[in-house]
């Protein structure tokens, strides 16, 4: 038995093969409503990905298992009259939870999402202070209630302007809410959503995975008296499925989720909000490689509703769409509330005394802030202890056996780790080439800086925030809460630091080293770096204290840095877009990449040469399309597979699509097809 999805019906089939009977219908009502079906069909065409797999990837996991759509009752807790509150006198957690439940009955999901532990609930329940009931049947319909909002701010002039423009929009339109970090964009979203709720319409908010913290979610939960559901990776399959169904049945009013939440069935959707639209996590990196932001715009178009793309650093694609008049830009140039703008300085490392990657000048500034009991954030985009392990005698660099990449030394794990395939190796004692035992770790990583912070700053209470310290479920939230509670005063981490966090006591951001990222062969590298710098800078001075940003570099005259410092992100993005247009790179052209990989290099090259020769043979029919020679990926060998690619770019989307169709029609006929893996990726983020 296999699972099938009905996406249309017809009287007579033109399908040449055998047509299978339907054995059983699993759902009482369509899983996807017609706008979602239209969206998925469009996505299949746009990304040239098989329609069955597109639909399959959009299904909640629970439904992929031939499960029937079944609804469990929702647990709701309410306070009792007869419990003895003296029994929890000493438990702040219990008192806090009881207070919230007393305000109004709360669902188990609500309590979970605002960070109340199951233990606390159990305790209260065992003491008869709270009682549960199941509300699916008796659930009051949210759209029949008065929508009550709590703790909303009076919008300032710029916010109000944005709010009015978007709120007055009837029908489809894409707005770019371009506001510096802390300018009150979220406040605008919340008030727009309130208006939609009053019209009886639902709302969808997409956020990057890492931003979907309890802090973000509780801001929504605390604002509205309507059911809110979430779809993200730390929820179980069942919980995600529940959220999907609650939206579909209009039992929930707001869905907050990551990328895949876009494919939920939301019958009364009134507005879509994409927070941090520039974030690369909206791009699905494997399987059906779609960009959730771009698909969301299509969804808004299909549903004839407004969509808001919020960001402090619009992607170059979005800048291009603003320039072409496809998107309407609304700016918020000042920070909301009391916070000031940050003061940016460059530290020229060539003239500095440097201790463990930190210049004396930066150290002085850090000490000053620490003395004032402020917090400091340090960005270093390298995990691990040291970037490389090198033999001091012969210069041998320890490399991964499966990849063309050097190994990173991780001290906590005491292993050499490949950052491409995650293979772990014991730390060597001798050089395998010359036998010398002086093996030197070189290039600072976050682990190493963390180790030295306490010697450089005796009063430091440092913490590290990178993929290694946050990979365990819930560990990121523990760190975030501890930072909020001032348990730490120095936070060292990777680009993860730059994402959305709001710590009012952080007054200084130090960018330890970005020099290696200034030179890269990826045409998007400078865009990503500029966004990273602006976003991390936005973490400083979010409260009512002055914020400072220091950027350490050996090339202070690099055009990216000077443009960014003197003209800000706007000057950078204008230049970057112009450059892309001159070089006929996206977004001025449509780009796709044919990626081929396999374990046998000869066969991979054989296959891709055939593909290339085929492209040459049809070239004349596609005058607006160009393609590169077969190129080997930057790290050609990864996990013992050789990677090669061909770029395909066209001046028009239409011809691009036709050309790709043409290639796909013959893709199985090239030599060694069964020995290689190949795919065509449309609008790729990375070429290799
Ligand atoms: P963004 O989403 O642009 O980063 P937020 O909406 O998170 O900005 O706002 C940043 C801070 O300013 C928050 O603490 C928020 O409560 C506060 N804030 C937002 N709008 C206003 C306003 N109109 N008046 C006072 N404070 C505000
Ligand atoms: Zn490897």
User: Given pLDDT bands bounded at 50, 70 and 90, which one contains residue 680?
Assistant: very high
Residue 1: the pLDDT is: 78
Contacts of residue 351, defined as CB under 8 A and 6 or more positions apart, other chains included, come to none
Residue 543: the pLDDT is: 80
pLDDT at 548 over 80: yes
Tens digit of pLDDT for each residue in 177-194? 999 887 899 999 999 999
CA of 101: how far to CAs of 94, 130, 132, in Å? 11, 8, 11
The mean per-residue pLDDT over the stretch 473-479 comes to 85
183 CA → ligand 1 middle, Å: 6
DSSP per-residue letters across 480-498: HHHHHTTS-SEEEESGGGG
Residue 368: the pLDDT is: 95
pLDDT at 519 over 90: no
671 CA → ligand 2 middle, Å: 28
Residue 218: the pLDDT is: 82
Q: Which atom of ligand 1 is closest in space to residue 188's alpha carbon?
A: 6
CB atoms within 10 A of CB 275: 22
422 CA → ligand 2 middle, Å: 6
Residue 71: the pLDDT is: 63
209 CA → ligand 1 middle, Å: 21
pLDDT at 253 over 90: yes
Tens digit of pLDDT for each residue in 392-421? 999 999 999 999 889 999 999 999 999 988
In DSSP terms, which residues pair with 551 in a beta bridge?
346, 511
Residue 85: the pLDDT is: 83
Nearest CA to ligand 1 atom 27: 337
Residue 66: the pLDDT is: 65
Residue 145: the pLDDT is: 77
- Tokens 């060539």 identify what position? 350
Ligand with an atom nearest the CA of residue 205: 1
pLDDT at 199 over 90: yes
Burial class (CB in 10 A: 0-12, 13-18, 19+), 571: middle
406 CA → ligand 2 middle, Å: 8
User: Given pLDDT bands bounded at 50, 70 and 90, which one contains residue 216?
Assistant: confident
User: Given pLDDT bands bounded at 50, 70 and 90, which one contains residue 69?
Assistant: low
Nearest CA to ligand 1 atom 9: 184
Would you call 75 helix, strand, or coil by DSSP?
Answer: strand
181 CA → ligand 1 middle, Å: 9
Nearest CA to ligand 1 atom 4: 182
Alpha-carbon span 509 to 71, nearest angstrom: 48
Q: Which atom of ligand 1 is closest in space to residue 156's alpha carbon?
A: 23
Nearest CA to ligand 1 atom 25: 337
pLDDT at 588 over 80: yes
Ligand with an atom nearest the CA of residue 308: 1
Nearest CA to ligand 1 atom 15: 184
540 CA → ligand 1 middle, Å: 15
Ligand with an atom nearest the CA of residue 422: 2
Nearest CA to ligand 1 atom 19: 184
b/e sequence 470-487, b meaning 16+ C-beta within 10 Å: beeeeebeebbeebbeee
Q: Which atom of ligand 1 is closest in space to residue 180's alpha carbon?
A: 3
Contacts of 317-320 spanning 24+ positions with Cβ under 8 A: 317/586, 317/587, 318/176, 318/277, 318/278, 319/573, 319/574, 319/577, 320/577, 320/587, 320/588
Ligand 1 surroundings by CB, under 6 angstroms: 153-156, 159, 179, 181-187, 336-337
420 CA → ligand 2 middle, Å: 5
Ligand with an atom nearest the CA of residue 425: 2
Ligand with an atom nearest the CA of residue 404: 2
In DSSP terms, which residues pair with 330 in a beta bridge?
177
Ligand with an atom nearest the CA of residue 400: 2
Nearest CA to ligand 1 atom 26: 337
Cβ proximity of 610 and 671 under 8 Å = yes
DSSP per-residue letters across 620-646: GG-TTEEEPPPEEEEEEEETTEEEEEE
Complete edge-to-edge strand list for the sheet that includes strand 173-179: 228-231, 254-257, 202-206, 269-275, 306-311, 173-179, 328-332
188 CA → ligand 1 middle, Å: 9
Average pLDDT, the chain: 91
User: Given pLDDT bands bounded at 50, 70 and 90, which one contains residue 339?
Assistant: low
Cβ proximity of 502 and 215 under 8 Å = yes
Ligand with an atom nearest the CA of residue 539: 1
Nearest CA to ligand 1 atom 20: 184
b/e sequence 231-260, b meaning 16+ C-beta within 10 Å: bbeebeeebbbbbbbbbbebbbbbbbbbbb
187 CA → ligand 2 middle, Å: 44
Tens digit of pLDDT for each residue in 149-181? 888 899 999 999 999 999 999 999 999 999 988
Nearest CA to ligand 1 atom 11: 182
HSE of 59 in the Cβ direction (CA atoms, 13 Å)? 22
Q: Out of 149, 157, 181, 184, give the residue to mutate to test ligand 1, the one with the largest number of ligand atoms within 8 Å of its CB.
A: 184
Tens digit of pLDDT for each residue in 282-317? 999 889 999 999 999 999 999 999 999 999 999 999
Ligand with an atom nearest the CA of residue 500: 1
Q: Out of 163, 219, 334, 337, give the residue to mutate to test ligand 1, the one with the largest number of ligand atoms within 8 Å of its CB.
A: 337
Please report, rounded to a whole number, the percentage of residues in the chain having pLDDT higher than 70: 98
Tens digit of pLDDT for each residue in 75-128? 888 888 877 888 888 888 888 889 888 887 888 877 887 778 888 999 999 888
Q: Which atom of ligand 1 is closest in space to residue 312's alpha carbon?
A: 3
Nearest CA to ligand 1 atom 10: 182
pLDDT at 272 over 70: yes
Of the candidates 392, 395, 398, which has an alpha carbon nearest to the alpha carbon of residue 419? 398
Name which of 130-134, 509-513, 578-582, 619-623 the model is least confident about.
130-134
Q: Which atom of ligand 1 is closest in space to residue 159's alpha carbon?
A: 23
The mean per-residue pLDDT over the stretch 441-466 comes to 92
15 CA → ligand 1 middle, Å: 56
Q: Out of 182, 314, 342, give the residue to mutate to test ligand 1, the one with the largest number of ligand atoms within 8 Å of its CB.
A: 182
Q: What pTM did the predictor assign?
A: 0.89
Q: Which atom of ligand 1 is closest in space to residue 332's alpha carbon?
A: 3
The better pLDDT of the pair 217, 627 is held by 627
pLDDT at 139 over 60: no
278 CA → ligand 1 middle, Å: 20
CA of 543: how far to CAs of 18, 182, 188, 301, 540, in Å? 66, 9, 19, 38, 8
The mean per-residue pLDDT over the stretch 25-48 comes to 92
Residue 67: the pLDDT is: 62
153 CA → ligand 1 middle, Å: 8
219 CA → ligand 1 middle, Å: 11
Residue 24: the pLDDT is: 85
């Amino acid at each position: 038995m296999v699972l099938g999805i009905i996406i249309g019906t017809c009287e007579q089939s033109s399908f040449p093969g055998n047509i299978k009977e339907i054995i059983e219908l699993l759902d009482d009502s369509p899983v996807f409503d017609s706008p979602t079906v239209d969206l998925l069909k469009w996505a299949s065409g746009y990304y040239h990905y098989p329609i069955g797999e597109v639909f399959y990837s959009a299904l909640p996991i629970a439904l992929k298992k031939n499960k029937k759509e079944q609804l469990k009752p929702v647990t709701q807790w309410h306070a009792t009259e007869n419990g003895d509150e003296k029994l929890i006198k000493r438990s702040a957690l219990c008192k806090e939870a009881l207070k919230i439940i007393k305000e109004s009955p709360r669902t188990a999901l609500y309590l979970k999402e605002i960070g109340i532990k199951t233990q606390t609930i159990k305790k209260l329940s065992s003491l008869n202070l709270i009682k549960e009931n199941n509300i699916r049947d008796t659930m009051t319909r949210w759209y029949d209630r008065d929508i009550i909002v709590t703790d909303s701010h009076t919008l300032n002039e710029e916010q109000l302007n944005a709010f009015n423009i978007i709120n007055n929009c009837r029908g489809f339109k894409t707005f770019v809410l371009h506001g510096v970090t802390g300018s009150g964009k979220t406040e605008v979203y919340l008030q727009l959503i309130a208006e939609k709720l009053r019209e009886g319409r639902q709302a969808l908010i997409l956020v990057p995975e890492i931003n979907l913290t309890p802090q973000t979610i509780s801001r929504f939960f605390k604002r509205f008296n309507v059911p809110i559901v979430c779809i993200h990776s730390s929820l179980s399959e069942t919980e995600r499925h529940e959220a999907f169904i609650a939206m579909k049945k209009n039992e929930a009013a707001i869905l907050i989720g990551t990328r895949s939440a876009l494919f939920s069935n939301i019958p009364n959707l009134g507005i879509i909000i994409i927070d941090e639209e520039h974030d690369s996590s909206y791009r699905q990196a494997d399987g059906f490689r779609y960009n959730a932001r771009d698909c969301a715009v299509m969804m808004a178009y299909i549903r004839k509703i407004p969509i808001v793309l919020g960001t402090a650093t619009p992607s170059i694609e979005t800048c291009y769409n603003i320039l072409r008049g496809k998107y309407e830009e609304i700016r918020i140039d000042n920070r909301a509330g009391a916070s000031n703008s940050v003061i940016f300085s460059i530290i020229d490392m060539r003239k500095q005394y440097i201790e463990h990657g930190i210049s004396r000048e930066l150290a002085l500034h850090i000490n000053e802030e620490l003395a004032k009991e402020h917090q400091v954030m340090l960005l270093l985009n390298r995990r691990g202890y040291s970037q490389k392990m090198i033999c001091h005698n012969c210069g041998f660099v320890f490399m991964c056996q499966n990849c063309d990449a050097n190994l990173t030394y991780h001290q906590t794990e005491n292993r050499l780790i490949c950052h491409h395939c995650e293979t772990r190796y014991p730390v060597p004692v001798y050089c395998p080439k010359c036998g010398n035992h002086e093996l030197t770790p070189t290039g600072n990583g976050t682990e190493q800086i963390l180790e030295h912070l306490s010697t450089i700053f005796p009063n430091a209470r440092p913490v590290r925030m990178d993929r290694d310290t946050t990979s365990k479920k819930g560990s990121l939230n523990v760190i975030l809460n501890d930072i909020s509670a001032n348990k730490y005063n120095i936070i060292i981490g990777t680009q993860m630091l730059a994402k959305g966090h709001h710590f009012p006591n952080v007054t200084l951001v130090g960018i330890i080293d970005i020099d290696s990222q200034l030179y890269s062969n990826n045409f998007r590298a400078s865009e990503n770096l500029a966004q990273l710098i602006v976003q991390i800078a936005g973490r400083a001075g979010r409260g009512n204290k002055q914020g400072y940003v220091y950027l350490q570099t050996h090339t202070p005259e690099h055009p990216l840095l000077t443009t960014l410092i003197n003209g800000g992100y706007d000057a950078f993005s204008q230049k970057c877009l112009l450059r892309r247009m001159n070089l006929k790179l996206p977004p001025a052209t449509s780009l796709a990449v044919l990626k081929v990989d396999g374990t046998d290099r000869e066969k991979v090259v054989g296959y891709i040469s055939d593909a290339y020769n085929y492209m040459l043979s049809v070239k004349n029919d596609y005058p607006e399309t160009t393609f590169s020679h077969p190129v080997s990926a930057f790290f050609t060998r990864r996990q013992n597979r050789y990677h090669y690619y061909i770029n395909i770019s066209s001046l028009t989307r239409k011809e691009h699509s036709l050309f790709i169709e043409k290639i796909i029609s013959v893709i199985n006929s090239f030599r060694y097809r069964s020995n290689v893996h190949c795919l065509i990726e449309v609008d790729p983020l990375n070429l290799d």
